[in-house]
Structure 1
Amino acid sequence: MKILLVGRNGQVGWELRRTLLPLGEVVAFDRERLDMSRPETISSAVDRVSPDVIVNATAYTAVDRAETEEGLATTVNGTAVGALAEAARRHQAVLLHYSTDYVFDGTANVPYAEDAAPCPQSAYGRSKLAGEQAIAEVGGDWMVFRTSWVYGVRGRNFMRTIAGASLEREALRVVADQRGTPTAARTIADLTAHALREALLRRRDGAFPGGMYHLTARGETTWHAFAESIVEAMRAARGDAVRTRSIEPITTEQFAAPAPRPRYSVLDGTRFDHTFGLSRPDWKTAFELVFADYLV
């Protein structure tokens, strides 16, 4: 079996390069080999590989910049994803794609299920919803995994930002009125590989479990509480090198980001658990494991 991985150098893509290997031959593309900002090139790039599975782990993720670059965000996250879906269907390949909690408006007070009505409030959220819709319109055998608050040992993410700031600044200010689930890139990649293997086995029997799933760690917290966990872990590992002595809780309005964020974006992963027979880790447990690697 041949697996085409798009986005090999991203947070999730980097981890997928490891977890997908037991499933078959992995052909991993970076932007130079498959540029999602040029949808017209996608068909020929996929044809050169002729894959059995396509895993799309790349996206336009600059949430605030998307407010002024919505056209580019929609091209990468919407139009190009549709082209990838068309190529997958032509090759009779399974398409696995990642989406986001930003497709919801954040007004709920219980975890969002897959059938909750999307209502994105940001350009980024609208672009990701466009990708979901494009895949559904093309059809074929596909799965979309929505996830949230992704972090890891590589790239630009909240964990690395707070850990670095704790060595430089005595006081931090972090939003405390947004709730979600921090989800490690490693967690996503590990669970993806297991779920994909199960899906492919069922496909052979004519029972492919396609559709939308929510894939995050378990539990929920705020950005402020997550920051506290990061600084505490840094202090336990680095001692007096950590300069941060206070983390001030602030409101979303005080943070004043260009793009609106969902106030509540916890995703209900029950369908994922039941379908694939997996148990997602609690976000705190996953964080401890990832942070240990970050310190190495």
Structure 2
Amino acid sequence: MNAVIVGAGGQLGRALRREFPEAVALDRAALDVTDPGAVRAFDWEGVDVVLNAAAWTAVDGAEHPANLGAVRAVNVDAVGHLADAAEEHGFALVHLSSEYVFDGSHEGPLPEDLAPSPLSVYGRSKADGDVRASAIERHWLVRTTWVVGEGANFVATMAGLADRGVSPSVVDDQIGRLTLATELAAGIRHLVETQAPYGTYNITNDGEPASWADVAAAVFTARGRSADDVTRVSTAEYFAGKAGTAPRPLNSVLDLTKIQRAGFHPGGWREALEAFLAG
């Protein structure tokens, strides 16, 4: 299968490059997907699937009015450009979404067909991008949470703090599961290679849901620090007096039933975290 990865320089993009080693990997310098002319001019001949890992992911930065155009250019307009190219050239589109399209008030794991209710500018942009991707028949919309891979991320930050002897305050009322970028990329490959029915799929690591503070405590323990060195605070306490921050959904737990029925069974997040920190 001939694949093209866009947004190939990010955490997920790098993981996708390992799962699809024969794919054409394009960072923004190679293809700016916010430019409709560049997308139209690209040679899509023979391409079977495009994996769209390009996104604005700075959740708080998206709240600044000066960034709105750039946020929507990559999270909404670019998705439309790729969807148009998919329709014209006959390739399938894999597009990545986020639990930020929901407000976090749903009781229990979030199903794929839950109506969007974003709290933030970032969440709205992802929800609108989902509409663009879902408008074409041949699409896999993959929703995920709390991604950890190569580069800057929460786990790397906590590991650095632990190593430097810092004792951070971390929120304990946002609940979800980590998603290792490697696991997410493997799940995407499963969908593509098995030609799973088109539509929306949740993919995260499995395991008992936990808070960000629980994740931080697990990192500290792995680094030889005490879990008690992580101070647990509420989201309201953590963001009190901090201007320009985006509201966060408190429930980020995605229902994994559909992807499991499709034959992909993600590993537990705690085991994956241990392997990530050891590797």
TM-score w.r.t. structure 1 length?
Answer: 0.88
User: 35-44 or 278-287, which moves further after superposition?
Assistant: 35-44
- Give the distance between the partners of 1:269 and 1:245, measured in 2 at CA: 31
User: 246-255 or 119-128, which moves further after superposition?
Assistant: 246-255
- Give the distance between the partners of 1:49 and 1:221, measured in 2 at CA: 45
Q: Deviations over 1:261-295 (max 9, x none)?
A: 001110001111112x12111111211222221xx
Which sections of structure 2, spanning at least 5 residues, go unmatched? none
- Give the distance between the partners of 1:229 and 1:169, measured in 2 at CA: 15
Check conservation: 2:7, 2:54, Cα contact below 8 A: yes
- Give the distance between the partners of 1:115 and 1:243, measured in 2 at CA: 40
Check conservation: 1:103, 1:128, Cα contact below 8 A: yes
Structure-1 residue corresponding to 2:170: 174
Structure-1 residue corresponding to 2:16: 16
The 3-state SS of whatever aligns with 2:29 is coil
Check conservation: 2:221, 2:227, Cα contact below 8 A: no
Task: Name the amino acid aligned to 2:272.
Answer: A
Check conservation: 1:172, 1:244, Cα contact below 8 A: no
Structure-2 residue corresponding to 1:74: 72
CA distance 1:159–1:174, change in 2 (3 Å): same
Structure 2 residue corresponding to 1:36, chosen from 33, 36, 40: 33
Q: Does 1:278 align with 2:264?
A: yes
The 3-state SS of whatever aligns with 1:98 is strand
Structure 2 residue corresponding to 1:252, chosen from 230, 235, 242: 235
TM-score w.r.t. structure 2 length?
Answer: 0.93
Matches within 5 A, 1:114-263: 114-137=112-135, 139-152=136-149, 154-199=150-195, 209-219=197-207, 220-235=209-224, 246-256=229-239, 258-263=245-250
- Give the distance between the partners of 1:248 and 1:125, measured in 2 at CA: 28
Structure-2 residue corresponding to 1:265: 252
Which sections of structure 1, spanning at least 5 residues, go unmatched? 200-207, 236-241
Check conservation: 1:52, 1:94, Cα contact below 8 A: yes
Structure holding more helix per residue: 1
- Give the distance between the partners of 1:250 and 1:229, measured in 2 at CA: 16
The 3-state SS of whatever aligns with 1:95 is strand
- Give the distance between the partners of 1:164 and 1:189, measured in 2 at CA: 25
- Give the distance between the partners of 1:35 and 1:250, measured in 2 at CA: 40
Question: How many Å apart are 1:38 and its aligned residue?
Answer: 2.7
The 3-state SS of whatever aligns with 2:223 is helix
The 3-state SS of whatever aligns with 1:232 is helix
Check conservation: 2:202, 2:254, Cα contact below 8 A: yes
Task: Name the amino acid aligned to 2:212.
Answer: W
Check conservation: 2:51, 2:93, Cα contact below 8 A: yes
